[in-house]
């Protein structure tokens, strides 16, 4: 593979690649490099923080002990921030790039949030477990997650009083897309999911008395369907394969769909619904490496942050600052804006986030200053909310340039540029960069990262 | 030529010098609208207790449900025979007496949401309770009128959903000087100036460069225009007053921006509400008094409409911690001297007819207010912005 193709592949399934690693891979074939990516992702390491204490308390607690429960909730909310941080650091040093990138994709497909850390952590790892597996198993597993059943009110869905929220989103957001079913289909599907619930620890259970065992007619089929049957029937629709393939194409290949490519993907995906097989097809196809697909996607804030971090490792002293940063950039992991998730693409960029992105390399890596006052939280009391000052500040971040220097000891400025920037460079910018190339490598690196071109991958 | 016009022209000229070719056709400033109408939106964030703000002091249910929180008549500023304003709302009672305030009671929407985040999104986007929109009504106003980013400013460091459009987003800045300094770092200047337009057009890279140019040139325009005005009005010393002072400076310096947004937080009074709310309303009212005085001194008040809302009101029944929990409908204040309806637009909420949660049932859909403001004040077809048809109210 050419250097550019290798960088492209690693940008899309990971967060970039170092010049030396890219050079090392150059002698290998596309199939082999892709096979290695799959091999590395075979047994995904779970995203985990220590919850043993919380679990023990949770087992002992009774519903009547309101004070204890409230304290538990508070502790749990704190732990969500810890999980957020652990996830970010996991992304920055994982070798299991493909499965982690897929997990990010699915987390924005099966969108949920949860204040219960025990349930939410389990949810995150169900995403990992199925990220490259079978889509049908995935949909069934995710539908039975406590986090999902709370988020979309499956728990409140009873034979006596059905709640349609989950049935609607299952079709609209997870499998078919809007307007591919009738309101009647939603009602019938909701009946099939009645009685689904979970215990305190987040295990699935079926309340038989709340489940509707009667006959349902759904998408033209009639029977005594349960939830699994409904999912099976949805997946028989080719539209479902199309819906998922289009979303994967937009995320991994190009914002603009190409009907021929997507149709090839559907042929591979339908009816087996093997996600790994689909991804292998995409990543080994010639069109994935078309120049019009290289360097054209706007990085998500997480791709942007993690990408920098993988070049120059950073240590955040204050957890809070890492949270602001995600909020200001517009993507706070584990805190999606709504059930539809982040819209992505150009919606990441407005005048404020653009300037922030361009400033950030110097703020994070060269102790630059930035106006970074946090918006008040609703729950904050007045003092905290109003204690915002109009000033620049430095972040409490330490950049480890030693790691950068030892990783790039044999690299020229040109080589660094070829791995950091894949978008075509405009002539004027190129000339400008040539003037800067005499600087030391860390300085040059910061300048490359401050270019609009660096926002693309 | 007035001094501020000179500055505007001068800044345009110098901005144009380093603009790449592909954006030189892109007009940043619409000179035609520089004197147009202004809308200032204020959010009392956290859910202000409306029932203790505009108080029905003859209502027995109110006193029954608020055993320790009810405002006594003697503490209130009496407005009508039945309604009093919270003691902190001194400026608002003057505005009321001058016919410069319209109170719209019991504003809400069907199936109200009681989460701060979701309810704020609903108010910002103008969506139904079960609809998830990714753009705010002010952002879509920018889209529909083909306005520029700087036509909607949020006085804060990051941008709220309210100002995000499908095509154009507004700009957030709390301190124009700082914003200017950040965007006029020598490095960016160099990057922008070395750009040519060989492969831009609709490509994402073109979009990034355009956005960058929008940011730098807007920052320059905002900074250079707004610094031509220095207020003589003294404002109370707190952050919210500073924000309104900043908005007044923008308006009085002749900035073309049409919509401003800022918020005051801390209204989530689940416990010990009395003192907290008193202090917060005093800050809100005091800042508003100075702001209006400042605008009146420059004769810009006549072109300014202020809309104050909160994402929800609070439960009628107080809780055991001398506070109130998240509720539903609430009042909206409109301030201006071109109001078609002055005083109370409609009667207070009926406390004897509550929903299953013990919350108010709304009378006026908030999007009726947006519709009137869009149609009659900002002079744009509200239907295009809200994608739904409301009749609107005869208020502005």
* Range list of H helices, A108-226: 117-130, 135-143, 146-151, 165-169, 183-192
Tell me: pLDDT of B200 over 60: no
User: Are B167 and A349 in contact, with CB atoms under 8 Å apart?
Assistant: no
User: Are B395 and B104 in contact, with CB atoms under 8 Å apart?
Assistant: yes
Is residue B180 exposed (0-12), middle (13-18) or buried (19+ Cβ within 10 Å)?
buried
Residue B363 maps to which CATH number? Answer: 3.40.720
Question: Given pLDDT bands bounded at 50, 70 and 90, which one contains residue A20?
Answer: very high
Pairing of strands A397-399, A314-316: antiparallel
| B318: its two tokens | 């107080």
| A353: its two tokens | 């986030």
Dihedral (C-alpha) A230, A231, A232, A236: value to the nearest 10 degrees? 100
Q: What are phi and psi of B280, to 5 degrees?
A: -65, -45
| pLDDT on residue A89 | 95
pLDDT in tens, A47-72: 999 999 888 888 888 778 888 888 88
CB atoms within 10 A of CB B243: 25
pTM confidence score: 0.85
Number of domains in chain B: 1
CB contact under 8 A, A382 and B265: yes
- Residues of the domain holding A327: 301-455
- CA–CA distance, B318 with A105 (Å, rounded to integer): 44
Match 């030189």 to its residue by tokens.
B24
H-helix or E-strand containing A222? strand A221-223
Contacts of B275 in chain A (CB under 8 A): none
CB contact under 8 A, A358 and B195: no
Sequence-ordered list of residues with C-beta below 8 angstroms from that of A418, at least 6 positions apart, any chain: A3, A4, A7, A19
CB contact under 8 A, B266 and A450: no
| Radius of gyration, alpha carbons of chain B | 22
Closest CA to A18 of A304, A420, A446, A306: A420
User: Are A429 and B195 in contact, with CB atoms under 8 Å apart?
Assistant: yes
Residue B67 counted as domain residue: yes
- CA–CA distance, A123 with A135 (Å, rounded to integer): 16
Tell me: pLDDT of A29 over 80: yes
Interface predicted TM-score (ipTM) of this complex, two decimals = 0.91
Averaged over A16-20, what is the pLDDT? 96
CA angle A30, A34, A35 (to 5 degrees): 115
pLDDT in tens, A111-120: 999 999 999 9
* Residue A347 DSSP class: G
CA nearest to B203 within chain A: A296
Cα atoms in the Cβ-side hemisphere of radius 13 Å centred on A272:
11
Residue A380 counted as domain residue: yes
* Range list of H helices, chain B: 3-17, 21-24, 60-65, 90-97, 116-125, 137-144, 176-183, 186-193, 204-226, 239-252, 273-297, 366-372, 382-386
Question: Given pLDDT bands bounded at 50, 70 and 90, which one contains residue A373?
Answer: low
- CA–CA distance, B250 with B260 (Å, rounded to integer): 9
Tell me: pLDDT of B15 over 50: no
| pLDDT on residue B19 | 38
Sequence-ordered list of residues with C-beta below 8 angstroms from that of A67, at least 6 positions apart, any chain: none
Residue A89 counted as domain residue: no
User: Are B364 and B106 in contact, with CB atoms under 8 Å apart?
Assistant: yes
Tell me: pLDDT of A412 over 80: yes
Coil vs helix vs strand at B261: strand
Contacts of A153 in chain B (CB under 8 A): none
User: Are A371 and B182 in contact, with CB atoms under 8 Å apart?
Assistant: yes
Tell me: pLDDT of A6 over 90: yes
Counting one residue from chain A and one from chain B, the pairs whose CB atoms sit within 8 A come to 157
Return the bridge partners of B69, or none. Answer: none
DSSP E strands in chain B: the ranges are 38-45, 54-56, 77-78, 83-85, 101-108, 152-154, 171-172, 259-265, 304-309, 330-335, 343-344, 364-365
Question: Given pLDDT bands bounded at 50, 70 and 90, which one contains residue A226?
Answer: very high
Averaged over A82-87, what is the pLDDT? 97
Pairing of strands A397-399, B171-172: unpaired
| A69: its two tokens | 């429960």
CB contact under 8 A, B118 and A453: no
- CA–CA distance, A195 with B149 (Å, rounded to integer): 49
Contacts of A346 in chain B (CB under 8 A): 204, 207
- CA–CA distance, A245 with B264 (Å, rounded to integer): 45
Residue A286 counted as domain residue: no
- CA–CA distance, A181 with A4 (Å, rounded to integer): 43
Residue A219 counted as domain residue: no
Residue A405 counted as domain residue: yes
| pLDDT on residue B32 | 39
Contacts of A379 in chain B (CB under 8 A): 46, 116, 268
| pLDDT on residue B129 | 93
Closest CA to A196 of A166, A235, A222: A166
Phi-psi domain of A164 (left: phi exceeds 0; alpha: psi -120 through 50; beta: other): alpha
Question: Given pLDDT bands bounded at 50, 70 and 90, which one contains residue B378?
Answer: very high
Closest CA to B53 of B13, B96, B100, B7: B96
Residue A314 counted as domain residue: yes
Sequence-ordered list of residues with C-beta below 8 angstroms from that of A267, at least 6 positions apart, any chain: none
CB contact under 8 A, B178 and A453: no
- Closest-CA distance, A337 to chain B, in angstroms, reads 9
**pLDDT winner (highest mean) among A177-186, A280-289, B154-163:** A280-289
Coil vs helix vs strand at A394: coil
Residue B170 counted as domain residue: yes
Q: What are phi and psi of A9, to 5 degrees?
A: -60, -45
- Closest-CA distance, A324 to chain B, in angstroms, reads 10
Pairing of strands B54-56, B83-85: antiparallel
Of B45, B46, B212, the CB nearest to A358: B212
User: Are A252 and A13 in contact, with CB atoms under 8 Å apart?
Assistant: yes
| pLDDT on residue B31 | 39
Phi-psi domain of B340 (left: phi exceeds 0; alpha: psi -120 through 50; beta: other): alpha
| pLDDT on residue A439 | 81
User: Are A106 and A279 in contact, with CB atoms under 8 Å apart?
Assistant: no
H-helix or E-strand containing B357? none
Measure Cα distances from A332 to A78, A342, A392, B299 in Å: 15, 10, 22, 44
Question: Given pLDDT bands bounded at 50, 70 and 90, which one contains residue A44?
Answer: very high
| pLDDT on residue B34 | 40
pLDDT in tens, B143-163: 999 999 999 999 987 899 999
Match 């918006």 to its residue by tokens.
A375
C-alpha A376, offset from chain centre: 26
Tell me: pLDDT of A390 over 90: no
Q: Largest Cα–Cα distance of chain B, in whole Å?
A: 73
Sequence-ordered list of residues with C-beta below 8 angstroms from that of A40, at least 6 positions apart, any chain: A95, A96, A97, A98
Tell me: pLDDT of A77 over 70: yes
| A253: its two tokens | 């290949």
CA nearest to A389 within chain B: B239
| A400: its two tokens | 């480890």
| Radius of gyration, alpha carbons of chain A | 24
| B170: its two tokens | 């507004």
CB contact under 8 A, A376 and B198: no
- CA–CA distance, A242 with A257 (Å, rounded to integer): 12
| A367: its two tokens | 């102790």
Of A296, A385, A392, the CB nearest to B265: A385
- CA–CA distance, B101 with B94 (Å, rounded to integer): 9
Residue B292 counted as domain residue: yes
CA angle A100, A15, A2 (to 5 degrees): 115
Contacts of A362 in chain B (CB under 8 A): 187
Average pLDDT, chain B: 89
| A349: its two tokens | 């960029």
- Residues of the domain holding B127: 40-176+235-386
Contacts of B116 in chain A (CB under 8 A): 378-379
């Amino acid at each position: 593979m050419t250097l550019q193709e290798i960088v492209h592949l690693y940008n899309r399934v990971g967060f970039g690649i170092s010049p030396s690693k890219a050079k090392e891979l150059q002698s290998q074939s596309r199939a082999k490099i892709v096979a290695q990516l799959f091999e590395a992702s075979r047994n995904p390491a779970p995203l985990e923080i220590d919850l043993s204490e919380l679990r023990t308390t949770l087992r002992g607690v009774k519903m009547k002990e309101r004070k204890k429960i409230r304290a538990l909730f508070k502790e749990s909310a704190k732990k969500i921030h810890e999980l957020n941080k652990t996830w970010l650091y996991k992304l920055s040093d994982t070798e299991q790039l493909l499965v982690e990138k897929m997990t990010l994709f699915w987390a924005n497909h099966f969108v949920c949030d949860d204040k219960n850390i025990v349930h939410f952590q389990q949810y995150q790892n169900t995403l990992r477990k199925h990220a490259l597996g079978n889509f049908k198993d995935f949909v069934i597993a995710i539908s039975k997650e406590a986090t999902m059943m709370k988020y979309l009110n499956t728990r409140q869905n009873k034979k006596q009083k059905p709640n349609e929220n989950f049935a609607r989103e299952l079709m609209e957001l997870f499998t078919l897309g809007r307007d591919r079913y009738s309101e009647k289909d939603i009602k019938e599907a909701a009946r099939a999911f009645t009685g689904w619930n979970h215990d305190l620890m987040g295990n699935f259970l079926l309340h038989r008395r709340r489940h509707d065992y009667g006959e349902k007619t759904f998408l033209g089929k009639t029977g005594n369907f349960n939830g699994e049957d409904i999912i099976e029937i949805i997946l028989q629709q080719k539209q479902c394969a199309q819906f998922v393939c289009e979303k994967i194409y937009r995320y991994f290949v190009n914002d603009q769909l190409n009907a021929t490519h997507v149709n090839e993907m559907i042929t591979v995906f339908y009816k087996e619904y093997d996600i790994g097989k689909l991804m292998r097809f995409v990543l080994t196809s010639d069109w994935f490496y078309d120049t019009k697909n290289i360097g054209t996607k706007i990085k998500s804030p997480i791709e942007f942050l993690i990408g920098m971090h993988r070049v120059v490792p950073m240590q955040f002293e204050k957890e809070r600052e890492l949270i602001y940063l995600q909020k200001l950039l517009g993507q706070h992991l584990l805190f999606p804006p709504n059930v539809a998730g982040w819209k992505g693409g150009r919606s990441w960029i407005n005048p404020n986030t653009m300037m922030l992105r361009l400033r950030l390399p110097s703020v994070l890596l060269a102790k630059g200053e930035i106006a970074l006052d946090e918006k008040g939280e609703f729950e904050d009391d007045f003092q905290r909310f109003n204690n915002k000052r109009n000033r620049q500040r430095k972040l409490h971040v330490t950049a480890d340039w030693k790691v950068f220097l030892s990783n790039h000891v044999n690299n020229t400025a040109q080589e660094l540029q070829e791995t950091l920037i894949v978008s075509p460079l405009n002539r004027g910018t190129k000339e400008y960069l040539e003037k800067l190339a005499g600087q030391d490598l860390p300085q040059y690196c910061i300048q490359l990262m401050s270019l609009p071109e660096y926002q693309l991958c | 030529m007035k001094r501020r016009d000179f500055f505007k022209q001068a800044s345009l000229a110098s901005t144009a010098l380093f603009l790449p070719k592909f954006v030189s056709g892109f007009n940043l400033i619409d000179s035609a609208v520089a004197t147009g109408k202004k809308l200032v939106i204020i959010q009392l964030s956290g859910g202000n207790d409306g029932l203790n703000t505009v108080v029905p002091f003859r209502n027995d249910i109110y006193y029954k449900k608020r055993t320790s929180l009810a405002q006594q008549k003697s503490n209130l500023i009496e407005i009508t025979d039945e309604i009093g304003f919270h003691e902190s709302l001194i400026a608002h009672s003057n505005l009321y007496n001058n016919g410069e305030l319209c109170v719209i009671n019991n504003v809400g929407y069907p199936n109200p949401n009681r989460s701060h985040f979701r309810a704020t999104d609903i108010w910002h986007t103008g969506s139904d309770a079960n609809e998830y929109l990714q753009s705010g009504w002010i952002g879509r106003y920018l889209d529909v009128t083909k306005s520029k980013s700087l036509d909607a400013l949020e006085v804060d460091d990051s941008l709220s959903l309210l100002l995000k459009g499908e095509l154009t987003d507004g700009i957030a800045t709390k301190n124009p000087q700082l914003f200017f300094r950040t965007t006029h770092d020598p490095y960016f200047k160099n990057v922008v100036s070395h750009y040519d337009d060989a492969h831009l057009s609709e490509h994402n890279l073109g979009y990034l460069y355009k956005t960058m140019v929008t940011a730098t040139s807007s920052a320059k325009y905002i900074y250079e225009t707004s610094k031509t005005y220095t207020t003589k009005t003294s404002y109370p010393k707190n952050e919210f007053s500073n924000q309104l002072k900043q908005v007044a400076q923008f308006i009085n310096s002749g900035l073309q921006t049409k919509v401003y947004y800022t918020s005051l937080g801390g209204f989530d009074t689940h416990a010990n509400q009395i003192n907290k709310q008193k202090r917060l309303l005093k800050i809100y009212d005091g800042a508003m008094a100075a702001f209006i005085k400042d605008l009146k001194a420059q004769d810009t008040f006549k072109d300014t409409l202020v809309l104050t809302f909160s994402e929800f009101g609070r439960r009628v029944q107080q809780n055991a911690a001398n506070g109130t929990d998240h509720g539903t409908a609430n009042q909206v204040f409109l301030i201006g001297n071109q109001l078609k309806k002055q005083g109370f637009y409609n009667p207070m909420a009926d406390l004897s007819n509550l929903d299953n949660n013990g919350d108010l049932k709304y009378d006026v859909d908030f999007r009726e207010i947006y519709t009137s403001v869009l149609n009659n004040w900002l002079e744009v077809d509200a239907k295009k912005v809200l994608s739904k048809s409301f009749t609107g109210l005869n208020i502005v």
